[in-house]
Amino acid sequence: MKVEHIKALLSWDQETGAPPLSMQERSEQSELLSSLYYQKATAEGVKEAVSSLCEDDGTCLEDKALIRRWKKYYRTEAMLPETLVSRYAREVSMGQSLWEEAKAKNDYRIFQPQLETLVSLAREKAAIIGKGEKPYDALLDLYEDGMTVRKLDSLFASLAPVVQKLVSAIEEHPPIDDGFLRIPYDVPKLQGFLSWISGCMGFDTQRGGVGVSAHPFTITLGVDDVRITNRFSDPSIFDAIASQIHETGHAIYDQGASTNGKIRGTSLGAGVSMGIHESQSRLWENFLGRSKDFWIFAYPELQKAVTGLKDVSLGQFVLAINKVGRSAIRTNADELTYNLHIILRYELEKKLIDGSLAVKDAAEAWNSMSSMVLGYRPKDYGEGILQDCHWAGGDFGYFPTYVLGNFYAAAFLEQMKKEFDVASALSHGRFSEITRWQNEHIWQKGGILLPEQLCYEATGHVLDAGPFTRYLENKFSNL
Q: Which stretch binds its own copies (CB under 8 A): 3-11, 166-174, 297-305, 372-380?
A: 3-11
Of 28, 44, 48, 56, the one binding its own copies by CB under 8 A: 28
Of 11, 26, 96, 389, the one binding its own copies by CB under 8 A: 26
3-state SS of the chain?
A: CHHHHHHHHHHHHHHHCCCHHHHHHHHHHHHHHHHHHHHHHCCHHHHHHHHCCCHHHCCCHHHHHHHHHHHHHHHCHHHCCHHHHHHHHHHHHHHHHHHHHHHHHCCHHHHHHHHHHHHHHHHHHHHHHCCCCCHHHHHHHHHCCCCCHHHHHHHHHHHHHHHHHHHHHHHCCCCCCCHHHCCCCCHHHHHHHHHHHHHHCCCCCCCEEEEECCCCCEEEEECCEEEEEECCCCCCHHHHHHHHHHHHHHHHHHHHHCCCCCCCCCCCCCCCCHHHHHHHHHHHHHHHCCCHHHHHHHHHHHHHHCHHHCCCCHHHHHHHCCCCCCCCCHHHCCCCCHHHHHHHHHHHHHHHHHCCCCHHHHHHHHHHHHHHHCCCCCCCCCCCCCCCCCCCCCCCCCCHHHHHHHHHHHHHHHHHHHHCCHHHHHHCCCHHHHHHHHHHHCHHHCCCCCHHHHHHHHHCCCCCCHHHHHHHHHHHHHC
Least gap, CB of 17 to its own copies (angstroms): 6
Least gap, CB of 376 to its own copies (angstroms): 39
Footprint (CB under 8 A) of its own copies, residues 118-147: none
In the complex with its own copies, which residue's Cβ is closer, 130 or 256?
256
In the complex with its own copies, which residue's Cβ is closer, 46 or 320?
46
Number of residues that bind its own copies (CB under 8 A): 34
Is 335 annotated in the active site?
A: no
In the complex with its own copies, which residue's Cβ is closer, 143 or 217?
217
The answer to whether residue 432 forms part of the interface with its own copies (CB under 8 A) is no
Least gap, CB of 172 to its own copies (angstroms): 49
The answer to whether residue 378 forms part of the interface with its own copies (CB under 8 A) is no
Give the phi and the psi of residue 218 in degrees, each rounded to 5.
-120, 140
Least gap, CB of 23 to its own copies (angstroms): 9
The answer to whether residue 5 forms part of the interface with its own copies (CB under 8 A) is yes
Catalytic residue among 247, 335, 349, 452: 247
Q: Which stretch binds its own copies (CB under 8 A): 81-89, 208-216, 269-277, 337-345?
A: 208-216
The mark string for 77-96 relative to its own copies (x by CB under 8 A, - otherwise) is --------------------
Of 32, 43, 54, 372, the one binding its own copies by CB under 8 A: 32
Q: Which stretch binds its own copies (CB under 8 A): 2-10, 120-128, 295-303, 426-434?
A: 2-10
Footprint (CB under 8 A) of its own copies, residues 36-55: 36
Of 11, 15, 33, 436, the one binding its own copies by CB under 8 A: 33
Footprint (CB under 8 A) of its own copies, residues 209-238: 209, 211, 221-225, 227
Binding residues for its own copies (CB under 8 A): 2-3, 5-6, 9-10, 12-13, 17-22, 24-26, 28-29, 32-33, 36, 205-209, 211, 221-225, 227
Q: Could you list the active site residues?
A: 247
